[in-house]
Amino acid sequence: MARSSNHKVVPESKMALDILKYEIAAELGLPVGKNSMANVNEEFASELGSVPSSSVKEDYWGFISSRDSGAVGGQITKRLIQRAEEVLYTL
């Protein structure tokens, strides 16, 4: 039986981590998120002459290179460590 090790210690942190992830992706100029995929879908649909889907149900990172998504993860880690050090320094 395989176990997933991708469990958050504090499940409530998911939203904050997602905000940080998209903030960093935007700073790096990566087109991710529901809005960016909706724009891509509308563009392809208009070229094909079909009607675009009304919404994208989940974010899609499939067109982002491994190097770029790794850079996002690295920046998340860097910022979380920096914030933890700031908190520890003030104690």
Judge whether residue 84 has pLDDT over 60: yes
Residue 6 lies in a domain: no
**For the chain, first and last CA: distance in Å?**
43
Judge whether residue 68 has pLDDT over 80: yes
Residue 4 lies in a domain: no
> Could you report the per-residue pLDDT of 43-61, keeping only the tens digit for each?
545 555 544 444 444 577 8
pTM over cut 0.85: no
CA neighbor of 31 nearest in space, from 50, 41, 77: 41
Residue 2 lies in a domain: no
Residue 3 lies in a domain: no
What domain count does the chain have?
Answer: 1
Domain, as residue range, for 85: 11-90
- Taking the C-alpha atoms of residue 38 and residue 51, their distance in angstroms, rounded to an integer, is 12
At 83 the pLDDT is 92
